[in-house]
Amino acid sequence: MTASEVQLDDSVGETVVNVTCTVNGKSVGFSVPPQRTLMDALRYDLRLTGTKTCCAEGECGACTVFVDGVAVNSCLILAAEAEGHDILTIEGLGEGEPGGLCDLQESFLEAGAVQCGFCIPGQVMSAEYLLRSNADPSVEEIREAMSGNLCRCAGYERIVAAIRITAQKRANR
């Protein structure tokens, strides 16, 4: 880690860490207090607010992002730990796709999986991670893989359907 330490006026006396990493394909740099989570750095330092905050303790999955292709709860890792790594957030997932939506995001809408939408970015990221590791997941495998993402509105069935629809689309591609 190439973190340098400087004192900032708005700190409560602690030092800050300079971080350089790749976010959605672009190289970015930011300075944060050492205790700042990746979730907060994405939301408040980079203003990528598609990554959501709910429980902030790794139980709900609303803050799910990819780090080097692996889905993680961004509330459970420090921003400083992102140094040199490759981050993909919900904003980057559909980038360059027609209408800005990838096939999975499209499927969420087709299946009626979206109600309030607050959990949805995290759901989409976890679902994408599942489909990249298992192209044709069974309903049981979907329920297992997605069990770290809470939804309070829609009762999960539509999300399972969205993942199945996407798997079929990708198989026929």
Partner 1 sequence: MREEQVFTHVPLATKGDPRATTGAPVDVGQTQALPNRLEESVEAGHGSERGGLAAVGASIRRYGGDDRVTGHQMFLSDLYFPDAAAVALVTLPVGRAIITKIDVKRAAGMPGVVTVLTAADLPQPVPRFGVSHQDRPVLADGEVLFHGEPVAAVVAETFDQADAAAREVDVTFIEVEGVFNLEQALAPGAPLVRDPSLRPADDENRNSNVLAAALYEWGNTTAAASEADVVVENTYTFPMVTHFPIEPVGVVAVPTDSGGLDIYSPVQHPYLLQQTIAKVIGLPLAQVRVFAPDPGGAFGGKQTPRLEPLLAFLALKTGRPCRLVLSLEQTFQMTRRAACRVTARTGFSSDGALVFHDLECDYLIGAYADVAPRVTTKGPYVGAGPYRIPNVRTASRAVMSNTTSSTAFRGFGVPQVAWATESQMDAGARRLGLDSLQIRQRNLVSSGEAFFRGPYEATADGHWHESLEKAAELIGWGLPLPPNRGRGIAVAIKPGPVSGLSQSLVRFLSDGSAIVYAGTSDMGQGARTLWQQILADELGCPLDKVKVVSGDTGIVPFDLQTSASRSTVFMGNAVLEACRDIRQRVMTLYAESTGIAEELLSEAPGVLVTPEGKMSLLEAARTALGPLGGEFVGQGTARMRGREGHPLGGDAAFYEFNCTAIEVEVDFETGELLLHKHVSVSDVGAKLNPIQVVSQDEGASIMGLGHSQMEQLLLDDHGVIRNLGALDYRIPTFKDVPVELVTYGIENHDGPGPYGSKGIGEGALLCTAGALGSAVSDAIGMPIRDLPLTPERVWMTLNQAGAHPGGDESRQVQ
Comparison of 84 and 147: residue with beta carbon closer to partner 1: 147
3 state DSSP class of 149: coil
Between 68 and 141, CB nearer to partner 1 = 141
Question: Other CB atoms closer than 10 Å to residue 169's CB: what's the count?
Answer: 14
Smallest distance from partner 1 to CB 86, Å: 18
The full length of the chain comes to 173
147 binds partner 1 (CB under 8 A): yes
Stretch that binds partner 1, among 15-23, 66-74, 77-85, 142-150 (CB under 8 A): 142-150
- CA distances, 17 to each of 29, 30, 76, 108, 154 (Å): 10, 8, 17, 38, 40
Q: Is the dihedral of CA 54, 115, 108, 150 positive or negative?
A: positive
Selected range binding partner 1 among 66-74, 79-87, 111-119, 129-137, rule: CB under 8 A: 111-119
Taking CB under 8 A as the criterion, which residues in 42-101 touch partner 1?
A: 43, 47-57, 59-60, 62, 89-91, 93-94, 99-101
Q: Which is nearer to partner 1, 82 or 107 (CB)?
A: 107
Binding residue for partner 1 (CB under 8 A) from 37, 78, 154, 166?
Answer: 154
Say if residues 124 and 149 touch (Cβ distance below 8 Å).
Answer: no
- HSE at residue 33, side-chain half, CA atoms within 13 A, is 12
Label the pairing between strands 86-88 and 64-67: antiparallel
Residues near partner 1 (CB under 8 A) are: 10-13, 33, 43, 47-57, 59-60, 62, 89-91, 93-94, 99-101, 105, 108-121, 124, 139, 142-144, 146-161, 164-165
